[in-house]
A = this chain, B = another copy of it.
């Protein structure tokens, strides 16, 4: 795409509202804008990252045999009253009446809604196991929205739900999700700490949190440097349970949380299935969440330098960008355009900075928005038939013969 069409309003100064490094970079690089505290617009660059992350999640969920659906955001409050969670969640739920007097809420999560769906549409144990997921907008009335995309009133989650006949089935699905989560976060360029966690308002016995280390993080995790074990810091001893050493405390952001729910929801909502002997049994459930929009911030917290963002390749808004240094030079723009077409035709996501700006502005913005590779097209490169390739991460440059550039780039991006 062309820079002038995409709408990338980069900022020279750091906006006052920015509360963390990730937040600052998201604003400065023109990826998001605040509409009001807790509600953000994803500008085209931010949306592209969101879509890359969602693509990774979909691939890994589908590979687990999960199937995607989309549940409503508007909920009848009565379903929440069946489990009593309208009270447990309290003021975090947006609640209001419609003009016909129905009590509604905006979904902060979807256990009740999907349990009701499956209850009404499952006719045989032969339809089990069943794993369903959605990537959807959630709403929570946070008292203190903070850190840009980290704590929002409107945010995007992936929530998956497993339905099994027995605990063995649940264990199997839980393990599949656990492994998928490790792959998802690794493909997003993140190092995660996995801790056994408190199930809280979700219920159930076993749960694991996937945490990303970040100074702004509001969850504290204890880390043993010797055996690399991690555990939530809430209460309990700060001694490592494996080697008994004193553990370090680090601040973290929660990016994923998986739960063995058991029958909490199916019993409260009478979501039963007829087993092979025809006897009605409550469904055994698990649920598996990822903070999709929050991931954007977590990735930036772990991937940046003084000049801007350094996107891990799989989640970068573009794979490569082209910087023609003088858009008024026709021969130069012709070279830039033909290279653009060639890279696009080979399947790459390409951004061409077609702005009539000084080279300094273009280099600064390129560093800020953090696309992994750039091709610089100046007078010299046309004359010498060599192309200058810049690697964002280490700012190294190298000259590549023009005829070899597509193959060269493709190798770098494997």
Contact = CB atoms under 8 A, between A and B. Distances in A.
A5 B67 contact: yes
Contact of A117 (B33, B46, B116): B33
A125 B139 CA distance: 37
A40, A99, A132, A139 — which one has the most chain B CB atoms within 10 A of its CB?
A99
Interface string A118-133: 0011110011001010
A35 B98 contact: no
Interface string A76-104: 10000000000000010010101110100
Interface in A329-367: 356
A87 B46 CA distance: 33
B36 A76 contact: yes
A116 B71 CA distance: 30
Instruction: Describe A's contact surface by its main secondary structure.
Output: mixed
A130 B43 CA distance: 13
A30 to B, nearest CB: 8
Given A69-B44, A91-B99, A113 B35 contact: yes
A201 interface: no
A5 B69 CA distance: 12
B35 A47 contact: no
A6 interface: yes
A102 B153 CA distance: 12
Nearest to A75: B35
Given A98-B141, A99-B143, A117-B33, A130 B7 contact: yes
A269 interface: no
A311 to B, nearest CB: 18
A137 interface: yes
Nearest to A62: B1
Nearest to A91: B99
Given A36-B102, A102-B36, A47 B76 contact: no
Number of chain A interface residues as a range: 35 or more
B70 A73 contact: no
A9 B154 CA distance: 31
Nearest to A33: B117
Contacts of A117: 33, 35, 41
A225 interface: no
Given A98-B153, A99-B141, A143-B100, A35 B76 contact: yes
Nearest to A40: B72
Contacts of A120: 33
A246 interface: no
A47 B70 contact: yes
A268 interface: no
B1 A67 contact: yes
Given A33-B121, A94-B98, A7 B132 contact: yes
A186 interface: no
Contacts of A75: 35, 39
A369 interface: no
A39 B106 CA distance: 12
B47 A153 contact: no
28 contacts: A1-B67, A4-B126, A4-B127, A5-B130, A7-B127, A7-B130, A33-B121, A35-B71, A35-B116, A36-B76, A38-B74, A39-B72, A41-B71, A44-B67, A44-B68, A44-B69, A46-B70, A47-B68, A47-B70, A73-B73, A73-B137, A74-B154, A91-B99, A94-B96, A94-B98, A99-B141, A99-B143, A137-B137
For the complex of A and B, list the 6 residue pairs with the smallest distance between their C-beta atoms, beginning with the closest: A96-B96, A39-B72, A42-B70, A9-B121, A44-B67, A36-B76
